[in-house]
């Protein structure tokens, strides 16, 4: 099979062999870099900011593509496609390439096997990429299971923890801000930065109103100006797979976050691939986010880093000051 495979054909359904098939051209029309985990060429670093004691690159590698959860709406074959492409070895290569391009942090939830691959990357490949992880254990009054997952993650080398947005959305809907606050404090007991994730803007509003002692927020943020974007009458929940949106109130989010002094990591900024990175990064950084969390295949990293650098260099004034 020719190595010159157009990515458009790839996305239409060709399952690639897990045994090292090289993509010749990416979706932006450029040849992808060599993603060798052994000796990637290190590029000048990305701009960084602080989260707790951590120095974090403004562009963070998202974990959904590495855990094979791609938010592909009703295109069910894409999950299998991602799993066939992102083998363990490919994930190790992707992490190395991200570091070589200046991305120093990865963020995702905590399924056991992907976490084991992160551990392998450090132990076997000497990787230094930092982990910001959200435990998925239940958040209950005694916090026993949640605390155990945090302890396991920190023991494995995790540098920062945040409350999973799926949990925080449900807790705020039940008026359980007390459990959100308790989850934040449990992570702090282990000496790591502790944040709150959210799809619902009410989570951040509630945390600010009641003085939850979070070190940072990780909040969805994207505009709705894409062909499959939601219509006003479809915006019934904090997020939805059908139609695909993950930030119900982008204007309201930008406006409220002006009042927030804690660092803000924006995620789902490309609406799961519906918004091109140049458009997404400009919108998010210009409208107040301090960091962008972006899911990237290996062949997308170099260009996305370039776009992030150019975008950041072109932003001189923002309505929300940089908070880190």
- Residue ranges covered by each domain of the chain: 7-314
Mean pLDDT in residue range 95-122:
97
- The per-residue pLDDT for 1 is 42
- The per-residue pLDDT for 43 is 59
The 8-class DSSP code of residue 42 comes to P
Model pLDDT for residues 189-226, shown as the tens digit of each residue: 999 999 999 999 999 999 999 999 999 999 999 999 99
- The per-residue pLDDT for 25 is 37
210 HSE (CA, 13 A, CB side): 15
- The per-residue pLDDT for 44 is 65
Could you tell me the pLDDT band of residue 26, with boundaries at 50, 70 and 90?
A: very low
Model pLDDT for residues 253-294, shown as the tens digit of each residue: 999 999 999 999 999 999 999 999 999 999 999 999 999 999
7-314 — its CATH code?
A: 3.20.20.70
Does residue 35 register a pLDDT over 90?
A: no
Does residue 187 register a pLDDT over 70?
A: yes
Mean pLDDT in residue range 159-166:
98
Does residue 6 register a pLDDT over 50?
A: no
Q: How far is CA 246 from CA 160, 169, 238, 280, in A?
A: 23, 12, 7, 13
Q: For 27-31, 221-225, 320-324, which range has the lowest pLDDT when averaged over its residues? A: 27-31
Does residue 155 register a pLDDT over 70?
A: yes
3 state DSSP class of 132 = strand
Higher pLDDT, 122 or 32: 122
pTM: 0.87
Sign of CA dihedral 112, 115, 119, 120: positive
Could you tell me the pLDDT band of residue 153, with boundaries at 50, 70 and 90?
A: very high
Model pLDDT for residues 41-100, shown as the tens digit of each residue: 555 679 999 999 999 999 999 998 888 888 888 888 988 999 999 999 999 999 999 999
Does residue 24 register a pLDDT over 80?
A: no
306 HSE (CA, 13 A, CB side): 9
Mean pLDDT, the chain, rounded, equals: 89
Q: Which among 131, 98, 125, 104 is positioned nearest to 300, based on CA atoms? A: 98
Does residue 104 register a pLDDT over 70?
A: yes
Cβ–Cβ under 8 Å, residues 117 and 86 = no
User: Which bin fits 157, alpha (ψ -120 to 50), beta or left (φ > 0)?
Assistant: left
Strands 48-51 and 54-57: antiparallel
**Max Cα distance, the chain (Å):** 59
């Amino acid at each position: 099979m020719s190595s010159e495979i157009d990515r458009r054909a790839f996305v239409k359904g060709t399952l690639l062999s897990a045994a090292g098939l090289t993509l010749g051209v990416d979706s932006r029309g450029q040849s992808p870099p060599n993603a060798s985990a052994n000796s990637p060429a290190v590029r000048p670093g990305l701009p960084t900011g602080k989260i707790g004691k951590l120095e974090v690159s403004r562009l963070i590698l998202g974990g959904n593509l590495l855990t094979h959860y791609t938010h592909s709406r009703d295109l069910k074959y894409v999950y299998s496609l991602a799993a066939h492409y992102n083998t363990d070895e490919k994930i190790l290569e992707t992490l190395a390439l991200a570091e070589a391009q200046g991305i120093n942090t990865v963020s995702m939830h905590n399924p056991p096997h992907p976490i084991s691959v992160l551990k392998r990357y450090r132990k076997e490949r000497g990787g230094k990429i930092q982990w910001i992880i959200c435990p998925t254990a239940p958040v209950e009054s005694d916090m026993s299971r949640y605390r155990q997952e945090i302890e396991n993650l920190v023991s494995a080398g995790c540098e920062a923890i945040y409350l999973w947005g799926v949990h925080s959305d449900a807790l705020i809907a039940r008026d359980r801000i007390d459990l959100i606050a308790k989850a934040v404090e449990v992570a702090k007991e282990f000496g790591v930065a502790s944040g709150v994730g959210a799809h619902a803007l009410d989570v951040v509003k509630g945390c600010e109103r009641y003085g939850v002692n979070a070190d940072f927020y990780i909040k969805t943020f994207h505009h709705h100006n894409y062909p499959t974007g939601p219509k006003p009458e479809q915006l019934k929940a904090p997020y939805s797979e059908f139609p695909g949106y993950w930030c119900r109130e982008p204007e309201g989010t930008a406006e409220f976050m002006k009042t927030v002094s804690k660092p803000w990591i924006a995620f789902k900024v490309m609406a799961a691939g519906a918004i091109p990175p140049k458009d997404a990064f400009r919108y998010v950084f210009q409208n107040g986010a301090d960091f962008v969390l972006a899911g990237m295949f290996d062949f997308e990293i170099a260009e996305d880093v370039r776009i992030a650098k150019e975008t950041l260099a072109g932003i001189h004034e923002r309505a929300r000051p940089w908070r880190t």
